Homo-oligomer: A and B are copies of this chain.
Amino acid sequence: MTANSSHQLWIYDTTLRDGTQREGLSVSIEDKLRIARRLDQLGIPFIEGGWPGANPKDVQFFWHLQEEPLQQAEIVAFCYTRRPQKTAGDDPMLQAILAAGTRWVTIVGKSWDLHVTEGLRTTLTENLAMIQDTIEYLRSQGRRVIYDAEHWFDGYKQNPDYALQTLKTAISAGAEWIALCDTNGGTLPHEMTQIVTDVVKAIPDNTQLGIHTHNDSDTAVANALAAVMAGVKMVQGTINGYGERCGNANLCSLIPNLQLKLGYTCIEDSRLSELTQTSRFVSEVVNLAPDEHAAFVGRSAFAHKGGLHVSAVERNPLTYEHIQPEQVGNCRRIVISEQSGMSNVLAKARTFGIELDKNNPATGEILQRLKALESEGYQFEAADASFELLMRQALGRRQSFFEIKGFQVHCDLVEGKETTNAVATIKVAVKNRDILEAADGNGPVAALDAALRKALRNFYPQIAEFELTDYKVRILNGHTGTAAKTRVLVESRNSHQRWTTVGVSTNILEASYQAVVEGLEYGLLLHSQAEAALSTSSGN
């Protein structure tokens, strides 16, 4: 793992350490292991796993990886330099990092004189000794060392001589990589270019440099690119740009920029197409909603909305897309919205496999219906399944699987008991029969869903394999003073597909019920289409 080709870069992922500093993000050991294995599969060479000295959860994480190692990636343990006025061998944090049992360790040390005197409250000389002792000690224990120069850019601006001395100390103590960190994220790209160029000149020729940027100036990705173009060979960042405050440099943007636009090699080309999936996997595991507008991997990154534009993009995608979405595993998407022109509706119909042309009066009717519902608060941009049902309705091609006649839901919290209970009763007309069923559940929506499934399961046994996988609620604040409306998006899945439906009402329960009911209906539609396809193909 040394820089032997001028076009090879080393990606260093710190999602599991710096990324977890993001406000609102917390992960279990199990989550961290799943993410590490996924990054390994993507071909990331260095994965920083955590700070074993600071966090007992991280100690166990490294032990798990000793038992079941990663395939290819180096898992890296992170730690500060030894404490002032102590010896490295006696520092419990350094014992913890050795116990992690990794080949590589990252040691972070102070570059900025102010942080030494005010933060650590020690002398500039002692800080150099701390860097040297720590690295030498870890080398003597057989570890390979990456040195993270914390607050490098601010430190260099304040006191360049001292800052450079810290790097030279780390190099002579045996660090194999020197990563320059813009810890506060305040540096702009032109300063990055200038300072990295200065460093390259000031340190020994064969030193391998890395870059670690934060997004406080909204330029973390550009800063890392500037550093690479000035000679850096290791790029540190996180999946989805997770990290403290405004986040770290986003590897999901950096890797395609470096590899597709600048001609560097970061991961195998064949792996690059797993990037979008990896981004979504990580957001799912850490339980944060994906950023739909993220560059390259966001759901909207290759979405086309304006009418004119959509016809043009279908003729020649290169004129409206900076890369081919498939290169990063993403896809082009035609969006339905208030601004939709006729050509969007037609393009969308094609993706549903519905034949529609602009002379069909139903096309205009669909557009009108869409606009009317959107003005009531519906939104179909994220609810394709509901839009397909609407389109089928207008075309007289919506299959009737069942009809809800009414429902009741009852919840109570009894004095002295800890939990509430919900019971739902539902009346459904299905295949010319009226079915009345009741069910309970953890909450009113779950109870309603259970009662409906109970009413339908004898008629449609396939609903047993549908599952409600996500449920999102948005309060639509009208400025009119009337009661706020609630929009609910429900994501459902069967064993091989996912679909999303929408409901809107002033009553959260009714909005949920609309979306749940359409979710079941759409699942039944998919099932009947699959059966029809099967019988056609076996008939030929």
Give the residue of B298, B339, B413, B506 whose beta carbon is less than 8 angstroms from that of A55. Answer: B339
The answer to whether A245 and B446 touch across the interface, beta carbons within 8 angstroms, is: no
**A184-B322, A219-B225 known; A476 and B287 CB under 8 Å?**
yes
Copy tally for this chain in the complex stands at: 2
Bound complex: CA of A210 vs CA of B446, how far in Å?
54
The answer to whether B184 and A301 touch across the interface, beta carbons within 8 angstroms, is: no
The answer to whether B222 and A219 touch across the interface, beta carbons within 8 angstroms, is: yes
The answer to whether B303 and A24 touch across the interface, beta carbons within 8 angstroms, is: no
Closest to A311 in B: B119
Partner-contacting stretch, out of A172-180, A271-279, A404-412: A404-412
A288-307 interface (Cβ within 8 A of B): 292-296, 298, 300-303, 305-306
Partner-contacting stretch, out of A71-79, A95-103, A185-193, A343-351: A185-193
Bound complex: CA of A473 vs CA of B112, how far in Å?
43
Bound complex: CA of A470 vs CA of B475, how far in Å?
7
Q: Does A81 contact B (CB under 8 A)?
A: no
Q: Does A30 contact B (CB under 8 A)?
A: yes
Min C-beta distance of A197 to chain B, whole Å: 13
Give the residue of B23, B245, B382 whose beta carbon is less than 8 angstroms from that of A337. Answer: B23
Min C-beta distance of A484 to chain B, whole Å: 8
**Which residues of the other chain, B, contact A360 by a CB distance below 8 angstroms?**
none
Q: Does A70 contact B (CB under 8 A)?
A: no
Give the residue of B151, B244, B381, B473 whose beta carbon is less than 8 angstroms from that of A23. Answer: B381
Mark A409-426 against chain B: 1 for CB-CB distance below 8 A, else 0: 111111100011110000
Mark A108-150 against chain B: 1 for CB-CB distance below 8 A, else 0: 0000101100110000000000000000000000000000000
**A218-B257, A293-B245 known; A471 and B479 CB under 8 Å?**
no
Bound complex: CA of A31 vs CA of B510, how far in Å?
28
**Which residues of the other chain, B, contact A189 by a CB distance below 8 angstroms?**
189, 222, 225-226
Partner-contacting stretch, out of A4-12, A312-320, A527-535: A312-320
The answer to whether B443 and A507 touch across the interface, beta carbons within 8 angstroms, is: yes
> Taking beta carbons and an 8 Å cutoff, which residues of A are in contact with B?
20-24, 26, 30-31, 55, 112, 114-115, 118-119, 151, 154, 184-186, 188-190, 215-219, 221-223, 225-226, 229, 244-247, 250, 253-254, 257, 261-262, 284, 287, 292-296, 298, 300-303, 305-306, 312, 315-316, 318-323, 335, 337-339, 374, 379, 381-382, 404-415, 419-422, 427, 442-446, 469-473, 475-477, 479, 483, 486, 505-510, 513
With A219-B257, A419-B506 known, 16 other A-B pairs at CB within 8 A are A20-B339, A118-B319, A186-B323, A188-B225, A188-B261, A216-B295, A216-B301, A218-B254, A222-B222, A245-B301, A245-B302, A287-B477, A407-B412, A411-B509, A442-B506, A443-B509
